[in-house]
């Protein structure tokens, strides 16, 4: 069968390969891939900057944003042929640490976790894959390939889950205004959650062209372009930073309303940005602010994601999938094109 593979650590080593059928050791549920979402992490792996093969010298099957249809599953698995499923990305570390042992592998304490298509485990970017029933999620019917948005939505669900938990550190927390920095798929989905929670949502993006401003307006949010200085007076209660850009991070830190929460959810370049740490510290201490990072998702977050997607307008969600490429032209999914939001490899084309 065909699969997108890469030699982690080696620039531009990705290619469409012929690989053996997935081994039973990957799980009892056999799945036909319908679609695979591509994100910044995949681009980083293809650039040689990230990723880990299952064994030394081996190629890694790429892909962690899955959507598939069950071909075969044991009756006791709870899955049946024809079910649409999404695969969870992370697997607990083998020790396991207290977090992984309790099903909270997204909070792994020793770094020994693996991630399909990213770290030490083959991904979902193959015509067929196998998965353990406990790491697969059965989707309620959604039009077309919308289910491929589940994995990025689970990341956003985790961020919002932790924001809510942090908010509960004092009894009278009543956030009203949310600022999302960045309007890629994670930013737009973060805005969707904010709107679904009844907050006033502002989304900042450098650009004012393309489909994103209208997507934000159609959601009920406010789009801001230009520089973050223009939104300096907003005083958001919650900031979700999705760009990972040091210059943007430097501007959002220490600019919330008192007892504000900043969630860092993006990973960008390692280059430096000038930042007044003394001013930041003063703001943090005198206002009881919190800044935290969020990555990955456990099963509960996938369930939160399924709920958010079920309640969202399906046309709006469909507009997030801006480009589909067939498996034979998979490499085009990694290119940046004007108007791109979520680009997917559509295995049904």
190 close to 240: Cβ distance less than 8 angstroms: yes
Decide whether 151 or 241 has the Cβ nearer to ligand BGC.
151
Q: How far is the CB of 268 from ligand BGC (least distance, A)?
A: 13
Q: Quote the distance between the C-alpha of residue 179 and its chain's center.
A: 18
Dihedral over alpha carbons 262, 267, 273, 278 (to 10 degrees): 30
> By the 8 A CB rule, do 32 and 72 touch?
no
Tokens coding 287? 């206002």
Buried b (16+ CB within 10 A) or exposed e, 142-178: bebbbbbbbbbbbbbbbbbbbbeeebeeeeeeebebb
Tokens of 151: 């994995």
Q: Kindly give the residue spans of alpha helices, DSSP state H, lying in the chain.
A: 40-46, 98-101, 150-167, 185-196, 212-219, 246-252, 277-287, 299-311, 314-320
Closest CB 90 distance from ligand BGC, rounded Å: 6
Instruction: Tell me whether residue 151 or residue 161 sits nearer to ligand BGC (CB atom).
Output: 151
Give the nearer residue to ligand BGC in terms of CB position, either 142 or 189: 189
Of 120 and 210, which has the nearer Cβ to ligand BGC? 120
- Cβ 224 to ligand BGC, closest distance in Å? 26
Scanning residues 125 to 154, which ones bind ligand BGC (CB under 6 A)?
Answer: 151
How far is the C-alpha of 334 from the C-alpha of 4, rounded, in Å? 12
CB 45 → ligand BGC: shortest distance, Å? 9
Cα 286 → chain centroid: 33
Among 31, 53, 89, 264, binds ligand BGC (CB under 6 A): 89
Total residues binding ligand BGC (CB under 6 A): 11
Of positions 3, 8, 34, 41, contacts ligand BGC by CB under 6 A: 41
Site for ligand BGC contains 39 (CB under 6 A):
yes
Q: How far is the CB of 44 from ligand BGC (least distance, A)?
A: 9
Nearer to ligand BGC, 5 or 41 (CB): 41
Nearest to ligand BGC of 89, 234 (CB atom)? 89
Q: Which residue is nearest to ligand BGC (CB)?
A: 41
Residue carrying the six token digits 């600019």? 255
Judged by CB under 6 A, the residue of 14, 108, 149, 155 near ligand BGC is: 155
DSSP classification of residue 174: -
Among 66, 251, 296, 298, binds ligand BGC (CB under 6 A): 296
Nearer to ligand BGC, 151 or 289 (CB): 151
Residue 295 in the binding site for ligand BGC (CB under 6 A): yes
- Residue of 83, 104, 115, 346 that binds ligand BGC (CB under 6 A): 115
3-state secondary structure 232-271: HHHCCCEEEECCCCHHHHHHHCCCCCCCCEEEECCCCCCC
Binding ligand BGC by CB under 6 A: which of 118, 137, 189, 308? 118
Site pattern 54..73 for ligand BGC (x: CB under 6 A)? ----------x---------
Closest distance of CB 123 from ligand BGC, Å: 11
Beta carbon nearer to ligand BGC, 33 or 256? 33
Residue 103's closest CA among 137, 57, 135, 148? 135
**CB-based contact 36:345 (threshold 8 Å):** yes
Residues making contact with ligand BGC (CB under 6 A): 39, 41, 64, 89-90, 115, 118, 151, 155, 295-296
């Amino acid at each position: 069968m065909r699969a997108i593979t890469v030699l982690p650590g080696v620039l531009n080593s990705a290619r469409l390969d012929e690989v053996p059928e997935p081994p039973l050791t990957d799980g009892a549920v056999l799945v036909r891939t319908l679609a695979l979402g591509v994100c910044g992490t995949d681009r980083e792996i293809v650039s040689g900057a990230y990723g880990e093969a299952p064994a030394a010298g081996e190629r890694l099957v790429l892909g962690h944003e899955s959507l598939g249809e069950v071909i075969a599953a044991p009756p006791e698995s709870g899955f049946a042929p024809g079910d649409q499923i999404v695969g969870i990305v992370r697997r607990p570390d083998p020790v396991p640490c207290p977090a992984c042992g309790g099903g909270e592998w997204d909070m792994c304490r020793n770094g020994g976790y693996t991630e399909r298509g990213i770290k030490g485990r083959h991904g979902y970017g193959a015509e067929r894959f196998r998965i353990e029933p406990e790491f697969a999620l059965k989707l309620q019917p959604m039009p077309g390939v919308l289910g491929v948005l589940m994995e990025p939505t689970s990341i956003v669900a985790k961020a919002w889950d932790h924001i809510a938990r942090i908010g509960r550190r004092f009894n009278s927390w009543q956030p009203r205004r949310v600022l999302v920095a960045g309007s890629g798929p994670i930013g737009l989905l973060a805005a969707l959650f904010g709107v679904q929670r009844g907050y006033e949502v502002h989304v900042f993006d450098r650009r004012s062209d393309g489909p994103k401003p209208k997507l934000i307006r159609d959601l009920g949010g406010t789009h801001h372009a230009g520089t973050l200085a223009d939104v300096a007076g907003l005083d958001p209660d919650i900031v979700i930073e999705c760009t990972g850009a040091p210059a943007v991070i430097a501007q959002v830190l220490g600019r919330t309303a008192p007892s504000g929460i900043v969630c860092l959810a993006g990973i960008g370049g390692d280059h430096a940005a000038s930042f007044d740490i003394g001013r930041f510290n003063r703001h943090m201490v005198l206002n009881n602010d919190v800044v935290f990072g969020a990555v990955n998702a456990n099963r509960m977050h996938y369930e939160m994601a399924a709920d958010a997607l079920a309640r969202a307008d399906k046309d709006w969600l469909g507009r997030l999938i801006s480009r589909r490429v067939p498996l034979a032209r998979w490499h085009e999914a990694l290119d940046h094109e004007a108007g791109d939001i979520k680009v997917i490899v559509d295995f049904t084309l």
